[in-house]
Structure 1
């Protein structure tokens, strides 16, 4: 094929942005060592921002978003990959300033590409996608720093979102007592179904008392929202508790003190999935294909085509997405 379909975001004269499905030429893709025929992608919050003209994500338009892609190698200039290899790409610059997975082909550097691990199908890899990889990075960091199921409860904020959902499912698979936080009325049933033992409202983790410490409840935390919710959880950690942070949907500000860290020995780790080490990625993708893989992963999934993407983009921007939206190319 010399042309392919893609979701294309263009900027209008009045500085608004339009989403259209267009025919693109493969020769117009960026020069890359590996040409991949995309089978599946997934919708992330960053994709929705790119699709609506957010310059903090994508500098130049027109553009095709999609920070995740799984498919088959069509051409390769790298000895590491051969035509027909099943592969996946998440993060790096894909879908940000490089044409992404919302197109039927991508052209990328070989160092971005990972062979699909045995035990994981292309669609399953995109149910995980960047969200699942980010959750896995958070959990792996917590495990490396001593968190075990015997230590106590693990709280997950933004638990019905992409990263939160995957964190709840993986932690439950590993035997942890998971507490999910959600502000959605329909979120409680969903979270209990996917493995959470308890569900609390946002208000229950939004302390405004001004106290430097609260009762120590949690041994671990995966935080996707930041702001005062993260500050409240830090004050609610047990001695030697561990916290992995990966989002700021609530706020980038952190109104806290040093007391949780110096009086309870709490540790907090920042997680970035877009540029993390490729060997760490490979290790975690193998885990996700085997003992970290939830048995009911398909249950949290809605699959759409390119035509269905604009509706789902609006929904995720309004905070209405629950679970994962997969794009079949």
Structure 2
């Protein structure tokens, strides 16, 4: 899977997260806006020196920034001591993390399906066609012949009012892994090839987005009937805002599945599982080699729940197919 990122202490483990661990955005990622949560619903009000860019009513969160000319540090300190404010945190940047059998002609390139015993999943899943899986990503190729039959609803949060069309390619890659139409004599087969795909475009053409949009995407999926939400994005740090969003999904019985991250080789001993995968109730996915061994580029950690093939063959923009890698796959 491809994912987005915000830094967590390597020692932090599932069930041991503390509010004090919410830190500044990594130095390379200065925050352009902040997430301000009010303690109680209806408490939201105009604060001196503060511009409200957007409001998420359901989360009781304002996306804010300091007025021009104000010192950001002093402004932030004032907000943190304001009555009625539960927390203020950076609105972090999220980005992709890159890295009876059906009669589909490209099935031979999907050898990993046998490794995970996908045939047994097909036997069970083919008895149900009411599963909806939301993909929070760059959108989906809405005209792809191996996906079109499974598309249901969706939304574009990057350009509201427009269809959730993929202008990057990653969302289309993930969609094929999850639910490419099976047994249709076209291309590949997905793991659940009768499931509905709900495309939610929350990342731009470069694979970037902001944390509030990621939260909005999850809320949309949960509120519009998705039973599973696939998150190919990640943050480098623990976030109370995202924690609340994850808890809401759990309260509604919705499973969140997230990429663990692809920094294993690059960051070595400093590597950690990305958020939201690192939250206790999120199904965290790592990568494995063709032999079933851990993929060295996949982020390890006690938060990991399952491992899947690091390299896959899947749907691509323009109606085609391609090989792709990463924990988001």
Taking structure 2 as the reference length, what is the TM-score of the superposition? 0.28
More helix by share: 1
Q: Which has the higher contact order (CA 8 A, sep 6+)?
A: 2
Taking structure 1 as the reference length, what is the TM-score of the superposition? 0.28
